[in-house]
Structure 1
Amino acid sequence: MAVNNVQIFQLGIRDQFNGVTEREQRYAHHKARAAWYGARIILEQVSLESRPIFDFILELHRACSANWDAIVGQVGMERDQLRQFLTYAATFLSNSSYYPGDPVSEEEIAMVSRILEQNSILPENTRIRRVNNSANDSEVLVASVQRDDDASRIRTFPTPGLKGVIRLIRGDHSSALENICNELTQAAKFAANDTQVDFLPKYAESFQTGSLNTYRESQRIWDRDEAPRVDFSSIHTLAYCSSIIFPGINLPNYNDIRQEDGFKNVIISNRMATESRALQYPFIDPSEAETFTKHKFPAYHWWVVLHELLGHGTGQTMVETEEGKQNFDIDNPPISPLTGKSITTWYKPGQTWTGQFADLATTVDECRAELQLDVDGLRGLSNFNVNTGAHFAVLKCLLLDGNGAVTVVHDGLAKTVRVRVDQSKILTHGKVALGSMLLRLHMYRCTADASACRAYYEELSAVDGEYLEWRETVLANKPPPFVFVHANTFLDGEKVVLREYEPTAEGVIQSWAERSV
């Protein structure tokens, strides 16, 4: 339902939950609780204000005993004002993606990342904190239950030129991670097989110690858990603690593990189902509206499948291990289809896709996996600032190199923008243009050629000139954002009770209040 510029949907799970055994329900309950305990970690990563706002909303819910109308009379608030607050609260609880304060510069991040890489320290569970506003000294906080309270246990590394030091300190988000580990330990008691029994303790250990090598080992074990009825690869989500709930996902998020051990493709059906009921951008030409509506959801389903399976699931990265060995013949390197010559770049020991490509990693990989065209490209204009874009890069490629396969008709005065497709040119020109673009991105990723990728992709995704005018029209037609209401599970003795909530702002707030995280 749409309320005050927010679309609220219930992620229904009851039929699926009732279809598994009591033991499996207990396993799912503890895994879900572990996920929800991550909420405060997300809040702490967003801003200093996020946790107090979160606590204020839930305390207000408790103070009025969920009778929000009582507030109107008590504080002299108008009903429209109350509705605006409830909409804000529901939206905040579903998305707090805002990063204020004194940011660390890109140069500082690059310097710290290089030092971590040189010392074989993976960066994914760390964050940087300045020390007394010093430009030379930094603290790298590592998420873990274990704390480095004793100064003698803190590892230090000199910065270039010996002008300062970097201190590696464990114990970030310690309390939340301890709760997560406790729930994972409980979940292990209800595991369905030996693989899950092996996976969960190792998974919890990674959060205890902050060791990403241990975490990676747990992901290799999880990858061997084939076709489980419950774990976080379920096709219906019980708990998804994130600002963005993707309709599908490819796991694990490590290229080498995908290559060596395999991966899982997940479609989240109760998330996907909302697409058919949601308000969408009006970018379709009226002459094609009926056809678009008829085929939209089936096409969307197959897009998600292929996006995860072929987009994120294909491609072998060229890697040199710590032992100086490569996963390719160094004396007869592979030939790059871009140059017709042997490749000259690859991932060196300690280097990763995210580490090398930094801010480009996510957007390039999504663009590399993307199959949605045209309408989604315009929608992408609203989700990024004027200097960046992901889906838009696909559309721009077709506009520049598709020889008229796709055109955009924009009327700035009427605030309308329409996509038109010349179906006769899709295979002959559009496919060729996209194939060339995807090959480039694919090779840059496989060979760790971050500099060439940046030069190509930043130009391709740049939003300037007439595209800025399109963006203004896109923003003027932007539909209400999505907000999702998840169910909760509770223990009643040894049994698990599922509780679902109404798709309203009040329902969103109540669901979070009853999670007690």
Structure 2
Amino acid sequence: MRQVSPESPGIYDFIIGLYRACDGDWKSLIGRADITAEDLASFLEYAGMILSNLGNYYGEGDRKFVPDLRKDVLRDIAAISEKTREGLEKIIAPMLAVPPFTLGHPSGFAQSGYYLGDESITPGDITRVSEVMNKGSIGPENTRARKVLRDGNTVLEVLQASAETDLSTDQSKQLAEGIILIRGDHSAELTRICEALEMAKQCACNDTQTDFLTRYIESFRTGSLEAFQASQKAWVKDISARVENIMGFIESYRDPAGIRAEWEAMVGIADADEIRVLKRFADSSTTFIRKLPWAVNGVNDGKGPFEKTLFETPDFSSVHALAVCGSVVFEAANLPNYEYIRETCGFKNIVLANRLSINNNPNLPCYWIKSSQVAFFRKTTHIVRYLTTVIHELLGHGTGKILSETGPGIYNFDKESPPINPLTGEAITSYYRIGQTWGSVFGKLAGTVEECRAILMSEYLMDDKELLGIFGYNDSSDITADDLLYATYLNIGVDGLQALEHYNAQTQTWGQVHHQVWSIPTQHPLASFPSPYPKRGQAHFAILNHILQISPDCLTVAYSRTARTLTVRLDRSRIRSHGKPALGQFLTKLHIWRCTADVDACKNFYESMCEVDDVYEEWREVVVGKPKMRWKFVQPNTFVQGEGEDLNVAVKVYDETNEGIIQSWVERDV
């Protein structure tokens, strides 16, 4: 929460303090002063949203939300105890303040929990800090930056997360003139995490688990990202774990500079039956790689020169999440994010089955589908989401060879007879130089292009009946393979339209939505199914835009200015003949540009696909004008009971209400 906004931890403490002050009897607050049942419901809705997003900005979209209550009502609610009164006064101003509207580079309308200080920190300051850290081989993922005035001089402090603390500036490390490194950010929390992990080591099932837990502790205790990378090398070797985990400063979605990562953690229980099916798919992966547009018969076992010689089948787990700590409850993960670890040690694909099952929601709104197709869409969408997620994680993120100079005069491809670029018909002319990586070359473009490539691959292969047959869908199943193909293209249209929610028309950028004040009403309306992340939202729009340009006879969007409606229309007979080639063309471009470090060609084409202008701006206004539902998740807790041979673990599940969410966090005792 501290990474979200300075006030978020205080809002959390205020909510928990209120629960304890009324002993969980929220209705007892009604009648105190002028508090009504509607006031209480509004506050509980806000509290539930805070605890589901772990902060006062939506995990999806990064938009700030404020309680739908007046100041005097909040103060009446807080009057139950002196502690809650004092707690509210510390946070009431920033809690209600608008602007900031969203997360982003600190400015008059945005803020960031990664960039702090008494002085206004600028993008130039952030770039300077990054350059100095890079020279000192200090990774940014577990850091924040703060600009302060000290002894009359402006100083940039790099705050590194660690349980160990640099108690004074004498212990801090000067990285350059005016830039110092200070350890101990989030020290109290990381100390407790290390203590818990020491206990977890006592329950490790094998030496590999003991190894990565030990490395976790070292990293969180000292701040060493080298230790964290060592933990990931061990973690990927913990194959088919019955209890799976993800932990650390991992994804950089919320950092406006795209390099500092949000703390997240997940513990899930593997589903053996689901894993057996996923293993069959993973074991057949080479079969499907040979069907990709750049595959060449007789070259590299039919995979072509733009794929690794050996596709090492990763560990593929379907788990039911027991607990997730983060701003979103994600559907799946492909980790670790360090490319060199993925290439040398492997990676894991983890699907959160109970998160994906939420897509099978009978109340799933369908703003962009013809009324005659709503029942079909609701019946098939959760299956499409599951299958495309599985393909996305295994083949989308798992394929591709980064053509590189790995050492002076040493290449991982034939430099004298380079591969033929399928986009030009001529030998490739670009590749990664020594020390360059996909992320360093493509910069901010890397995340959204990689998501787009993975999404395209999953959609491209959804016509493959051999692949769908592994999961039980064929010509004679209740929902046929052809039904799922049709539903896939409906979802291309729906996801592409809904992605416009993530476009900021004022700054003409993706990832931070338009500036509006968003209160939480007592009765929260339904909304369209949201894109999982802004980077994916941008990718979904690019795909829709491309297919509308290349193959309008297959997929179109009917727009009524008077009725303010958008409707996806699809010609089933043209999906294979027109739709798939359009996806294949886009997929091939992104894949080859990624493999060959051709950032200029990629940038020019991809950014043109992401432009929201003319009629698309009108479409965006329709999309953002629809009521929005934000998911809230209530999570269980586990408790150790008994001793010795009678020791057991009890799982407590809470009511699916705002009150249940709050109680679960109180009893988690954070």
TM-score interval, smaller chain: 0.7 to 0.9
**Aligned partners of 1:247 and 1:269 also within 8 Å:** yes
Quick check: 1:468 aligned with 2:605?
no
Q: Percent identity?
A: 42
- Structure 1 position 456, deviation (Å): 2.8
SS at match of 2:141: coil
**Unaligned residue ranges in structure 1 (runs of 5+):** 1-42, 159-163
Which residue in 2 is equivalent to 1:146? Answer: 164
Higher helix share: 1
Question: In structure 2, how many angstroms separate the alpha carbons of the residues matched to 1:258 and 1:429?
Answer: 35
Which residue in 2 is equivalent to 1:286? Answer: 371
1:425-440 map, 5 Å: 425-440=574-589
**Aligned partners of 2:209 and 2:238 also within 8 Å:** yes
**Aligned partners of 2:554 and 2:571 also within 8 Å:** yes
Q: How many residue pairs were aligned?
A: 469
Quick check: 1:112 aligned with 2:129?
yes
Instruction: Compare relative contact order (CA 8 Å, sep 6+) and give the higher one, 1 or 2.
Output: 1
Which residue in 2 is equivalent to 1:341? Answer: 427
Which residue in 2 is equivalent to 1:221? Answer: 234
Quick check: 1:196 aligned with 2:209?
yes
Quick check: 1:301 aligned with 2:259?
no
Question: In structure 1, how many angstroms separate the alpha carbons of the residues matched to 2:221 and 2:628?
Answer: 42
Quick check: 1:375 aligned with 2:375?
no
**CA distance 1:327–1:362, change in 2 (3 Å):** same
Quick check: 1:515 aligned with 2:668?
yes
Q: What whole-Å deviation, never above 9, does each CA across 1:73-102 have from its counterpart, x for those lacking one?
A: 113112112111111111111123353447
Which residue in 2 is equivalent to 1:239? Answer: 323
**Unaligned residue ranges in structure 2 (runs of 5+):** 58-63, 65-102, 104-109, 116-120, 246-267, 271-318, 460-490, 511-537
Which residue in 2 is equivalent to 1:72? Answer: 30
- Structure 1 position 477, deviation (Å): 2.7
Question: In structure 2, how many angstroms separate the alpha carbons of the residues matched to 1:107 and 1:314?
Answer: 36
Which residue in 2 is equivalent to 1:385? Answer: 504
1:256-267 map, 5 Å: 256-267=340-351
Question: In structure 1, how many angstroms separate the alpha carbons of the residues matched to 2:636 and 2:374?
Answer: 35
- Of the three residues 339, 342, 345, the one matched with 1:255 is 339
SS at match of 1:239: strand
Question: In structure 2, how many angstroms separate the alpha carbons of the residues matched to 1:137 and 1:353?
Answer: 32
**Aligned partners of 1:144 and 1:171 also within 8 Å:** yes
Which residue in 1 is equivalent to 2:396? Answer: 311
- Structure 1 position 221, deviation (Å): 0.8
1:27-106 map, 5 Å: 43-95=1-53, 96=55, 97=57, 98=64, 99=103, 100-101=110-111, 104-106=121-123
- Structure 1 position 71, deviation (Å): 1.1
Note the aligned Cα RMSD (angstroms).
Answer: 2.6
- Structure 1 position 495, deviation (Å): 3.0
Which residue in 2 is equivalent to 1:166? Answer: 179
SS at match of 1:265: strand
**CA distance 1:176–1:422, change in 2 (3 Å):** same
- Structure 1 position 315, deviation (Å): 1.9
**CA distance 1:418–1:489, change in 2 (3 Å):** same
One-letter amino acid of the counterpart of residue 502, structure 2:
N
Q: What whole-Å deviation, never above 9, does each CA across 1:398-425 have from its counterpart, x for those lacking one?
A: 1122243211111233232110112233
Which residue in 2 is equivalent to 1:130? Answer: 147
Which residue in 2 is equivalent to 1:419? Answer: 568
Which residue in 2 is equivalent to 1:16? Answer: none
Question: In structure 1, how many angstroms separate the alpha carbons of the residues matched to 2:405 and 2:181?
Answer: 26
SS at match of 1:238: strand
Moved more, 218-227 or 68-77: 68-77
- Structure 1 position 327, deviation (Å): 4.3
How high is the TM-score relative to the length of structure 2?
Answer: 0.65
Quick check: 1:230 aligned with 2:248?
no
SS at match of 1:145: coil
- Structure 1 position 484, deviation (Å): 0.7
Question: In structure 1, how many angstroms separate the alpha carbons of the residues matched to 2:136 and 2:588?
Answer: 33
Moved more, 131-140 or 312-321: 131-140
**Aligned partners of 1:196 and 1:225 also within 8 Å:** yes
How high is the TM-score relative to the length of structure 1?
Answer: 0.83
**CA distance 1:195–1:285, change in 2 (3 Å):** same
Quick check: 1:496 aligned with 2:582?
no
- Structure 1 position 343, deviation (Å): 4.0
- Structure 1 position 502, deviation (Å): 0.9
**Aligned partners of 1:402 and 1:433 also within 8 Å:** yes
**CA distance 1:492–1:434, change in 2 (3 Å):** same
**Aligned partners of 1:184 and 1:204 also within 8 Å:** yes
Question: In structure 1, how many angstroms separate the alpha carbons of the residues matched to 2:232 and 2:648?
Answer: 29
Which residue in 1 is equivalent to 2:521? Answer: none
Question: In structure 1, how many angstroms separate the alpha carbons of the residues matched to 2:565 and 2:442?
Answer: 36
**CA distance 1:220–1:333, change in 2 (3 Å):** farther
- Structure 1 position 129, deviation (Å): 1.6
Moved more, 362-371 or 322-331: 322-331
- Structure 1 position 483, deviation (Å): 0.6
Quick check: 1:157 aligned with 2:243?
no
Q: What whole-Å deviation, never above 9, does each CA across 1:4-58 have from its counterpart, x for those lacking one?
A: xxxxxxxxxxxxxxxxxxxxxxxxxxxxxxxxxxxxxxx1111111111111111
**CA distance 1:220–1:202, change in 2 (3 Å):** same
Which residue in 1 is equivalent to 2:484? Answer: none
SS at match of 2:32: helix
Moved more, 228-237 or 215-224: 228-237
SS at match of 2:333: strand
**Aligned partners of 1:346 and 1:449 also within 8 Å:** no
SS at match of 1:496: strand
